[in-house]
């Protein structure tokens, strides 16, 4: 494996907190140039300032992944600033939980727009650049919920199954362009993801579980680094991992 990511240009959606923030900090420490995209510009600017204070290079671009034009702008800004994109981490995600009979249809739409369409928009934005380069790595974030369906998690699980299907289709299509693809499916990670659950019963169950089992977001950052740092002829297609304490 390479010991450094010096000069790698890495675009991360959902980069203002949680998995995206941890990964940005971890990869920047290994020399990567980081381009963060998320809606909360102030949070990203603070992360960028920290990276720059440590001698790294980073850029924040306010981005709503439900708007394909904003996602395209994120990639275009990365290319304009650094000349290329080596890794696209489609990390932005939303987890809302409730039984179907609760008919929280707006929340279904939110998860479809962010988790599925946001991933597709990231692929659409970066693919022409990577095809032109004849190199690149697309990393999409699924979940253990993309492998198992849980009560109250039906729609969320469906979106994460979709991410896996999209990623496998992409993998098969991009071999002629020398591109790599990875799906990372984490279990319970200590982020603000559970805070988006509005259904009281589901929220209590998830929060109780997370308090007992969740592990640090650094675990995800290390998984990303592992996939990226392999030799060019090694394509890590899927990483599924959980906290040791997680039974599901």
In a domain, 229, yes or no: yes
pLDDT at 3: 54
In a domain, 28, yes or no: yes
The answer to whether 5 and 32 have CB atoms below 8 angstroms apart is yes
Catalytic, out of 121, 156, 161, 210: 156
Active site residue 156: yes
In a domain, 144, yes or no: yes
In a domain, 184, yes or no: yes
In a domain, 1, yes or no: no
In a domain, 3, yes or no: no
- Average pLDDT value over all residues in the chain: 95
In a domain, 154, yes or no: yes
**230-239 pLDDT, tens per residue?**
999 999 999 9
**127-179 pLDDT, tens per residue?**
999 999 999 999 999 999 999 999 899 999 999 999 999 999 999 999 999 99
**89-114 pLDDT, tens per residue?**
999 999 999 999 999 999 999 999 99
Average pLDDT of span 7-20: 96
Total residue length of the chain: 248
- Tell me, what CATH number does 111's domain have? 3.40.50.720
CA distance linking residue 213 with residue 230, whole number of Å:
30
Domain that holds residue 55: 9-241
Around 28, how many Cα atoms within 13 Å sit in the side-chain half-sphere? 25
The answer to whether 61 and 37 have CB atoms below 8 angstroms apart is yes
pLDDT at 217: 96
**37-80 pLDDT, tens per residue?**
999 999 999 999 999 999 999 999 999 999 999 999 999 999 99
In a domain, 246, yes or no: no
- CA angle, 20 as apex, 14 and 24 as ends, to 5°? 130
Split into its structural domains, the chain has a count of 1
Q: Where are the beta strands (DSSP E) in 49-207?
A: 57-62, 87-90, 136-141, 179-186
């Amino acid at each position: 494996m390479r010991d450094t990511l010096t000069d790698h240009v890495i675009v991360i959606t959902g980069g203002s907190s949680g998995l995206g923030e941890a990964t940005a900090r971890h990869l920047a420490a290994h020399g990567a140039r980081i381009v963060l995209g998320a809606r909360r510009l102030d949070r990203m600017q603070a992360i960028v300032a920290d990276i720059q204070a440590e001698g790294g290079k980073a850029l924040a671009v306010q981005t709503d992944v439900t708007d394909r034009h904003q996602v395209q702008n994120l990639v275009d800004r990365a290319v304009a600033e650094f000349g290329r994109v080596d890794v696209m981490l489609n990390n932005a995600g939303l987890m809302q939980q409730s039984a179907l009979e609760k008919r929280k249809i707006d929340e279904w739409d939110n998860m479809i727009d962010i988790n599925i369409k946001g991933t597709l928009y990231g692929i659409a934005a970066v693919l022409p650049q990577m095809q032109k380069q004849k190199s690149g790595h697309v990393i999409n974030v699924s979940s253990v919920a993309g492998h198992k369906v849980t009560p109250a998690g039906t729609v969320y699980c469906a979106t994460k199954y979709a991410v896996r299907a999209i990623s496998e289709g992409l993998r098969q299509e991009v071999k002629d362009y020398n591109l790599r693809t990875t799906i990372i499916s984490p279990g319970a990670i200590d982020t603000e993801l559970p805070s988006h659950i509005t259904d009281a019963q589901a929220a209590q169950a998830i929060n109780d579980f997370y308090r007992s089992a969740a592990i640090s977001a650094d675990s995800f950052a290390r998984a990303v680094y592992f996939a990226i740092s392999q030799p060019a002829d090694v394509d890590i297609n899927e990483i599924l991992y959980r906290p040791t304490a997680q039974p599901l």
